[in-house]
Amino acid sequence: MAETKKSSLYRLKPFIDRMPAIKKPDGHVPFKTKMYWTIGILVMYFVMTNVFIYGLDHEQTLDLFASFRAILAGAQGSLLHLGIGPIVTGSIIMQLFTGAKIIKLDLTDSEDKAIYQGTQKVLVIVMIIVESIPQVMGYLVPSVDLIELVGDLGAKSLIVFQLCVGSYLVFLMDELVSKWGIGSGISLFIAAGVAQQIFTGTVNWEAANPAYDVGFNTGPDGNPNLPAGTIPKIIYALTHMSGSEWTRQGFRMVFIDPPNAVIALIGTIVVFIIVAYAESTRIELPLAHGKVRGARGRYPIRLIYASNIPVILIAALLANIQMISLVLWNSPRLQDTILGGNPYIGGYLPGSTTPISGFAFYVSQINGLYDWLIPLMNDAYMPYYLTEWKIVGHVLIYLLFMIGGSIIFAKFWIETTNMGPEAVAKQIQSSGMQIPGFRRDPRVLKRVLERYIPVVTVLSGAFVGALAAFADMIGTTGQSSGTGVLLMVGIIIRMYEQIGKEQAMEMHPVLRGFFGNE
């Protein structure tokens, strides 16, 4: 039999073998050790979000990822400015290429899987560089002192270098949690960042605009400037407004007006409850051991089978679309080309990072009721650059993009993580289990699983995409976004389950073989 031709990606193997990496533990890692590593990395993450880039002019800095800051698990102007963006983007590219059969690797083969993971690491490094360079093109501006010290090119290169170091450290931290801790580092960072924003958005007593005093007419142009947090805003309005004032304008200011309106807090709580319920909804296939009589079990197929990964991937894709369109719109060197300053790709107001026209606008994240419902109900709140039809088109296209994109990424994710019918059938077969009443054959198991897994995968992707888009339309506390809240809740629930599984394996070592940990 002729030897199967190996993928051309094997040429990268010498480089992959020399890349810095976290060594996989040789044996079982005790539960306490895993907890120490997980907590330690989480503390390090928060420390890095407060280590700001040296030589940055913060007054002239624009945040390209402002709308996606919670999802990308980063902090503006810090070493983690890019967050997990490069890691997720590298994963998207590998999944798309693998799903389209451009990359021909058998992920059930250990060598091919190692090459796949190694190539993804290379792509992450490439994406770190690709996403770092546009940041200094008018968005992360070097300070005058740094430019005088090392020159303009040197100052920009130093900022890019710091971004690259911070992003690669995040990549290594994610790998460290995956091998020595509990769960995924990426998920841990997202949950931590979103939880921080929700907490701040709920209890922050500082003024919404720190440059002005708190009051009903102390803001810019005599507008209200209430406390930024939902709870302090409610308390301030109740203690400083009469009944008639509350009826005339207080209700709108507290319940609807940003930031952190009561409706946003309600939306956050509703998403929390829906995700918690959906995570517990599952189909359980009965299993019995082929040799040990009386040994039975169940294989759970969750409603959210593809987890929250599709939403992370679609959010990272949207963030990259916004970054590219903004760079094309503002870059002086591209203004004379078909791409530069093209409103059909994406148009922006001066000094803004929110698109107002073009493809980037229609797929951009919706930020609560003030983005669509309030302008449709009252023309006084309609921005001059929008029309009713543009708003309706934005809502519909965003919904379709989130739902359709999540379905596609869910299918790719299932296939690339050995969660498809064939891979699951082999896992059940290798554990010695079988479905009662069916012949003990992986092909039979595969046919049974094909009745459920493909359908649940599509439903899973559509559900999380629709729920994230719905939450974005209602609004969420702390600018965490519907996607961010959805991810946080799902991550916390799965982390809780993972901790329970680790404790069970610690008490009953025989379970390690069943769960594939040894």
pLDDT for the residue numbered 294? 56
Q: Is residue 21 part of a domain?
A: no
Name the most confidently modeled range: 74-83, 258-267, 279-288, 354-363. Answer: 354-363
Residue 9 belongs to a domain: no
Q: Is 119 part of any domain?
A: yes
CA angle, 45 as apex, 42 and 48 as ends, to 5°?
Answer: 155
The total number of structural domains in the chain stands at: 3
Same domain, 226 and 200: no
279 and 189 co-located in one domain: no
pLDDT at 54: 93
Q: Which pLDDT score is estimated for 1?
A: 38
Query: How far is it, in rounded angstroms, from Cα 23 to Cα 40?
Result: 17
Q: Is the pLDDT of residue 481 over 90?
A: no
Q: Of 89, 157, 80, nearest to 122 (Cα)?
A: 89
Residue 199: alpha-carbon gap to chain centroid = 19
Q: Are residues 240 and 373 in the same domain?
A: no
Residue 111 CB neighbours (<10 A)? 13
Are residues 155 and 267 located together in one domain of the fold? Answer: no
Q: Hey, what are 369's tokens?
A: 């009721």
Whether residues 179 and 237 fall in one domain:
no
Host H or E run for residue 302: strand 296-302
Task: Based on the fold, state whether residues 237 and 89 are members of the same structural domain.
Answer: no
* 143 against 221, higher pLDDT: 143
Beta strands in 416-469 (DSSP E): 433-434
Q: Has residue 321 been placed in a domain?
A: yes
Residue 3 lies in a domain: no
Same domain membership, residue 171 and residue 128: yes
**How confident is the model over 193-248, as pLDDT tens digits?**
899 889 999 999 898 888 888 888 887 877 888 899 999 999 998 888 887 777 77
Residue 23 maps to a domain: no
Q: Are 199 and 485 in contact (CB under 8 A)?
A: no
Q: How far apart (Å, rounded) are the C-alpha atoms in residues 222 and 124?
A: 48
Q: What is the mean pLDDT of residues 94-123?
A: 80
pLDDT at residue 363 tops 90: yes
For residue 77, being part of any structural domain is answered with yes
Q: What percent of the chain has pLDDT over 70?
A: 95
Please report the pLDDT score of residue 289 as a whole number: 67
Q: At 360, which CATH number?
A: 1.10.3370.10
Cα(first)–Cα(last) distance of the chain, in Å? 34
CA 242/CA 236 separation, integer angstroms = 12
Range(s) of the domain holding residue 498:
260-510
The model's confidence at residue 6, banded by pLDDT at 50, 70 and 90, is confident
Ranking 175-184, 253-262, 466-475, 507-516 by mean pLDDT, the lowest is 507-516
Residues 389 and 491 in one domain: yes
Structure tokens of 6?
């190996």
pLDDT band with cut points at 50, 70 and 90 for residue 292: low
Residues 432 and 395 in one domain: yes
Mean pLDDT of 277-281: 85
Residues 308-338 have pLDDT tens digits of 888 888 888 888 899 889 889 988 877 778 8
Query: Structure pTM?
Result: 0.80
Residues 296 and 361 in one domain: yes
| Domain closes at, from 204, 238, 268 | 204
Asked if residue 15 belongs to a domain, the reply is: no
Could you tell me if 196 and 233 lie in one domain? Answer: no
What is the four-CA torsion angle of 192, 193, 199, 203, rounded to 10 degrees? 150
Q: How many whole angstroms separate alpha carbon 212 and alpha carbon 400?
A: 40
- Are 280 and 229 found together in one domain? no
